[in-house]
Chain A
Amino acid sequence: MNSFEPEIQEALFDYLLHLGDNRLVLGHRLSEWCGHGPVLEEDIALANIALDLVGQASHLLCLAGEVEGKGRSEDDLAYFREAIAFRNFHLVEQPRGDFAFTIARQFLFDAHSYLLYQKLQNSSYEAFAAIAAKALKEITYHLRHSHQWILRLGDGTEESHRRTQNALEDLWTYTDEMFLSESKDEVLVAQNIVPELSSFRGEWEKMVRDVLTEATLKVPEENQYMAKGCRQGRHSEHLGHLLAEMQILARSFPGAQW
């Protein structure tokens, strides 16, 4: 195991929590569709993607625990932290909404993950690069799934178009946060452990614009209030409710086994 300078260790722990929490929270949100999907096939697809995300979170939080070096497991980190200690985007904690909202959110997130993980698989921290390379295969499929659905919903019926456009308008305020540089990440960028977010923002914007245009959807207005602060533990009210449900079992029966 690598031994890091205290400054890097602290930053890396926080970054791994950030990446892990994004996937844990989004995976949990997506799992809420289980049994409620619009058709059986899509129900299974969403549950598969939810499981992939929770699996990715498990790897990241496990590594975070190792980097922290205080003996915390991925379960300790997932189930025994309060909302203020979570580092996930506002985007992923929003209630699941309708199917168009879920697909629009997945698409915006998948495009970001896809570009980020292409860089992360070349991280100078080998353990991190290895789990990124493994997840990239899943992410490539997730993006294909959400991309194909955006095309069909946007260019589908009048109702599906309207719902998807509304979803994008509601979600747009959470997109800027995906590219906000944090000063605490600078040491990681300097060590080539993580990429600079600005290095793929242009690609993300182009990918989103191209797909939305093909789907006859409009890219929402740029000049609007943008949510921020997730890396400092600022969240919407929705995260607390989500965590209460997700954590109740582990907190009621600590150490419970299947």
Chain B
Amino acid sequence: METTVNNDWPVWEVFVQLKSGAPHEHAGNVHAPDAEMALQNARDVYTRRGKACSLWVVPSVEITASSPVDQGPFFDPGNDKVYRHPQFYKVPRGVKNV
């Protein structure tokens, strides 16, 4: 880097959609002064080698995350709660993405 840069640009989370209809998946993040520049930076950092058809950028501060201390009560696996697993019926052949 040329000189010390006071980089206080906010961080944006980047979501890339690889083809129409597919979910936007989290790819990483970028620094940018505003939403338009965040899109441009995301385009350059995360889509330059592969195909993409849509990008979302979201200010990182707008994301509400669960807390690590919630891990037990939040994510206790329901393996012993058989009624939570709707596996008692057959999925017809030809139905995809289930």
Contact = CB atoms under 8 A, between A and B. Distances in A.
Interface of A: 36-42, 44-45, 48, 141, 144-145, 148, 152
Interface in B1-57: 1-2, 5, 7, 9, 30-33, 36-37, 40-41, 43-45, 48
A144 B2 contact: no
A144 B31 contact: no
Contact of A148 (B2, B7, B31, B36): B36
A39 B9 contact: yes
B35 to A, nearest CB: 11
A148 B5 contact: no
B37 A152 contact: yes
Contacts of A145: 40
A38 B2 contact: yes
B30 A41 contact: yes
A109 B5 CA distance: 27
Contacts of A45: 40-41, 44
30 contacts: A36-B1, A36-B2, A37-B1, A38-B1, A38-B2, A38-B5, A39-B5, A39-B7, A39-B9, A39-B31, A40-B31, A41-B30, A41-B31, A41-B32, A41-B41, A41-B44, A41-B45, A42-B41, A44-B41, A44-B44, A44-B45, A44-B48, A48-B44, A48-B48, A141-B43, A144-B40, A145-B40, A148-B36, A148-B40, A152-B37
Interface residues of B, number: 17
Contacts, number: 35
A148 to B, nearest CB: 6
A48 B43 CA distance: 11
Contacts of A42: 41
**Pairs of residues from A and B, 10 with the lowest C-beta to C-beta distance, nearest first:** A41-B41, A45-B44, A44-B44, A41-B30, A48-B44, A36-B2, A44-B45, A48-B48, A39-B7, A38-B5
Query: Which of B1, B5, B44: most chain A Cβ within 10 A?
Result: B44
Contacts of A37: 1
A39 B5 CA distance: 8
Given A37-B1, A141-B43, 10 more contacts: A36-B1, A36-B2, A39-B5, A40-B31, A41-B30, A42-B41, A45-B40, A48-B44, A148-B37, A152-B33
A147 to B, nearest CB: 10
A215 to B, nearest CB: 14
Nearest to A149: B37
Contacts of B44: 41, 44-45, 48
A240 to B, nearest CB: 25
Nearest to A148: B36
Contacts of B37: 148, 152
B4 to A, nearest CB: 11
